[in-house]
Amino acid sequence: MQERVTLASSEILFFTLEINRLEETELEAKLATPTRYRPWLEDLRSFRVHQLADDVERALHERHVVGNTAWMRLFEETLATLRFPVGERTMTLTESLNLLCDSDRDVRHAAAGAISKGLGERAHVFARILNTLIKDKEIDDRWRKYPHPLAARNLANQVEDKVVEALVTTVREAYPQLAHRYYALKARWLGLERLEYWDRNAPLPQFSERSYAWPEAQTIVLQAYHAFSPTLALIGRR
């Protein structure tokens, strides 16, 4: 299916390439009449300076199915096939990760150990996938002349590099005041001298665990949506 989608989309790739070849004055003349497509066009043209020759763009587009897309699919399929023995049960990764929120510390510890062991046994596969994807991106960034690894993502998100840098710097500087302080408090609440990684998602002892029936859960969610946006709540009720 992915191959068919890639081949089909490669036949219309010329459309966006041609749009980016238009001069600004020519495009503005065509957009003299207000159009709902202006935001999409502006987003598309922000990549204009990084666009390569048509044949190169088509080659890069078609190789995605055997390039980074294939490696990401291998990663997802590998995770999906993994099974982790926790206690007397054999679980999927999702089920095992869910146990890290269990109120019983022994259960959390057992789940964490099983996950670490299971993932560790596939470390060579995951390392190969990661290194290949990194090199694939480095080649793409170099050909397109992006100044640094985050440039393409920032451009896609329509955010300036300096804004992202300021955000990252601020968050890092706040580690001691926020994350470190929070985990120290949580260790104290849990009665622990040191918080292990399998304790990060542990429920706080002062809150009792309870299950919600579907009607009650539905009501809570829809009420929350309604407080935020009645329109979204209406859509949720459909």
Give the model confidence (pLDDT) of 37-90 as tens digits. 888 898 999 999 999 999 999 988 888 788 888 999 999 999 999 999 999 999
Residue range 115-141: average pLDDT?
96
Bridge partners of residue 234, in order along the sequence? none
Q: Which whole number is the average pLDDT over 28-36?
A: 81
| Percent of the chain topping pLDDT 70 | 100
pTM beyond cutoff 0.75:
yes
8 Å CB contact between 99 and 111:
yes
Residue 90: phi and psi, rounded to 5, are -115, 125
Q: Rounded to whole angstroms, how far apart are CA atoms 116 and 92? A: 13
Higher pLDDT, 238 or 197: 197
Least confident of 13-17, 30-34, 100-104: 30-34
The average pLDDT across 18-26 equals 89
Among 75, 114, 76, 90, residue whose Cα is nearest residue 198: 114
Looking at the predicted structure, is the pLDDT value of residue 142 above 80?
Answer: yes
For residue 7, what pLDDT band results from cuts at 50, 70 and 90? Answer: confident
Cα distance between residue 30 and residue 56, in whole Å: 28
> Distance between CA atoms of 187 and 177, rounded to whole angstroms?
16
Residue 189 has pLDDT above 90, yes or no: yes
| Distance separating alpha carbons of residues 153 and 133, to the nearest angstrom | 15
**Bridge partners for 90 per DSSP:** 85
What phi and psi, each to the nearest 5 degrees, are found at residue 207?
A: -110, 125
Residue 130 has pLDDT above 90, yes or no: yes
pLDDT reading at 117 higher than 90: yes
What pLDDT score does 14 carry? Answer: 86
| Residue 2 pLDDT greater than 80, yes or no | no
237 pLDDT band, cuts 50/70/90, is confident
Angle between helices 13-21 and 54-63 (to 10 degrees): 140
Rounded Cα distance between 223 and 192, Å, is 37
Q: How far is 164 from 153, CA to CA, in rounded Å?
A: 11
Chain segment 94-112, per-residue pLDDT in tens: 999 999 999 999 999 999 9
State the chain's mean pLDDT as an integer.
92
Q: Which of 149, 150, 147 is nearest to 49 (CA)?
A: 147
Diameter over CA atoms, the chain: 70
